[in-house]
Amino acid sequence: MVNAVWGNIFGSPREKKVIIETLGQLPAFEGLSKNDLAQVERVTHERRYKAGEPVFDEKMPGAGMYIVLSGEVVIEKLIGDDNKIELATVGEKCFFGELALIDEMPRSAGARAKIDSVLLAFCKPDLENLLEHNPGLAARIVRNVAKMICRRLVETNNRMEALETRISTLSHKEK
């Protein structure tokens, strides 16, 4: 009833249920109850980006992570002054920028919408509010994010190892 009144004035364009379902499928919100997911949904922000529009720039203070509801986002890194290399492309129901949830350090890479995209932002201040008022829920999210960061770290280490092996093989061949 209340939502019906306010929904007409401030109504969000995407159905709340769909967002809650999407959140439930993400590893960052694994093991959260429907009530917990509803609390997370309340603090998320839906953002629309046109193709080519930056989501955030490298080296700027990070506010939080983004979940791709539709579209594609490119993660890119600046090499030198002008050259940008694409590190990854993030598709639907995937997320990026999760490091900013833990620390307000400058972004290690930039993000740009590849095509018209709809993203869901979950920001650090909201996670901090949850930590203060609902530590149980916040702890579960932080643990999930930490797990994801660990997994990505292992992946990066494996890649580094593979690259080092390749470089040493190439240098042996050259000798």
Partner 1 sequence: MRNSSSHKVVKVLYFIAVAAVIVAIAYSFKILAVPVLLALILKLLLDPVVAWFESRGMKRMNVLIGLSLSATLVLVVLGAIFIPAILRECKNIVSNLPVYKQSFIAAAGQLHDSALKLMPGVSVPDFQAMLTERLSKPGGFKMETLFHYLPDVFEIFMTIALVPIITFFFLADGHLINKFLMSLVPNTYFEMSVLLVNRVLTQIRQYIRGQMLDAAYVGLCMTIGLLLTHTHYAIVLGILSGLGNLIPYVGPSLGLVAAALLMLLSPEGLTNITPLLWLGFCVFLTHFTEIHFVYPIVVGNSVDLHPLVVILGVVVGGTLAGIVGMLLAVPIMGIAKVSFETVHSYLKSYSII
Helix axes 16-24, 34-43, angle to 10 degrees: 110
Q: Is 84 in the site for partner 1 (CB under 8 A)?
A: no
Candidate list 31, 52, 91, 135; residue touching partner 1; CB under 8 A: 135
> How many other C-beta atoms lie within 10 A of the C-beta of residue 20?
18
Integer Cα distance of 165 and 157 in angstroms: 12
| Interface stretch with partner 1, choices 20-28, 62-70, 77-85, 146-154 (CB under 8 A) | 62-70
SS3 80: coil
Residue of 97, 110, 13 lying closest to 53 (CA atoms)? 110
Candidate list 77, 93, 133, 159; residue touching partner 1; CB under 8 A: 133
Integer Cα distance of 91 and 36 in angstroms: 25
Q: By CB under 8 A, what part of segment 24-43 binds partner 1?
A: 33, 35, 38-39, 42-43
Q: Which amino acid is at 175?
A: K
Candidate list 24, 27, 47, 118; residue touching partner 1; CB under 8 A: 47
Choice between 91 and 106, CB closer to partner 1? 106
- Letters for 148-167 (x = contact with partner 1 by CB under 8 A, - = none) are --------------------
Measured CA to CA in angstroms, residue 168 lies from 6, 41, 164, 173 at distances of 63, 49, 6, 9
Residues 6+ apart with CB under 8 A from 105: 61, 62, 99
| Interface stretch with partner 1, choices 3-11, 20-28, 69-77, 87-95 (CB under 8 A) | 3-11
Question: With CB under 8 A, what is the number of residues at the site for partner 1?
Answer: 43
Integer Cα distance of 36 and 138 in angstroms: 10
> Minimal distance in Å, beta carbon 114 to partner 1?
15
Choice between 34 and 159, CB closer to partner 1? 34
Using CB under 8 A, list all residues that contact partner 1.
2-3, 5-7, 9-12, 33, 35, 38-39, 42-43, 45-49, 53-56, 60-64, 104, 121, 123-126, 128-129, 132-137
